[in-house]
Amino acid sequence: MTSKFVRFLVFGIIGIWNTLFDLGLFWSGMTILSKIGIKKTQKLAPIANIFSFLTSNIVSYYLNSSFTWRDSSNSKGFLPYLIVTLISLAVSTILISFFTKPKYFDIFQKSYKTFSFSQETSY
């Protein structure tokens, strides 16, 4: 296998792991926030999204820097990465805030009744 192919595989594995990590953090955040008294999904989702998105993106940056690109200095590319990440975070949080409004969320609720947080929250 070529070095580029191995790096591509490592990048893909980190990406898949990071997506699952992000979803796990988001679900955990939704569950924890609903148990401490925040019951409205419109308030829960953006808070959980901010936490999971930032945490998983920072972890992804360091994993890819260490294993995919093998760059020990980690800091020279972090600022541009952080700027792009914050823009992506803003867009995703706005979309989550919009689509968790009761009139839109009812559509999604019917499709995702298996999630524990959608059964425990009030709309």
Residue with tokens 């936490």: 51
| Number of residues that this document lists for the chain | 123
> In which residue ranges of the chain is pLDDT below 70?
41, 72-75, 104-123
Which two tokens mark 8? 């591509």
pLDDT at position 123, please?
44
Give, in order, the Cα–Cα distances in Å from 41 to each of 32, 55, 84.
12, 21, 26
∠ at Cα 74 (67, 64), nearest 5°?
A: 30
The residues spanned by each domain of the chain are 3-120
Phi, psi of 31 (to 5 degrees): -65, -50
pLDDT at position 74, please?
62
Asked if 25 contacts 58 with a C-beta cutoff of 8 angstroms, the reply is no
pTM exceeding the 0.85 threshold for the entire prediction:
no
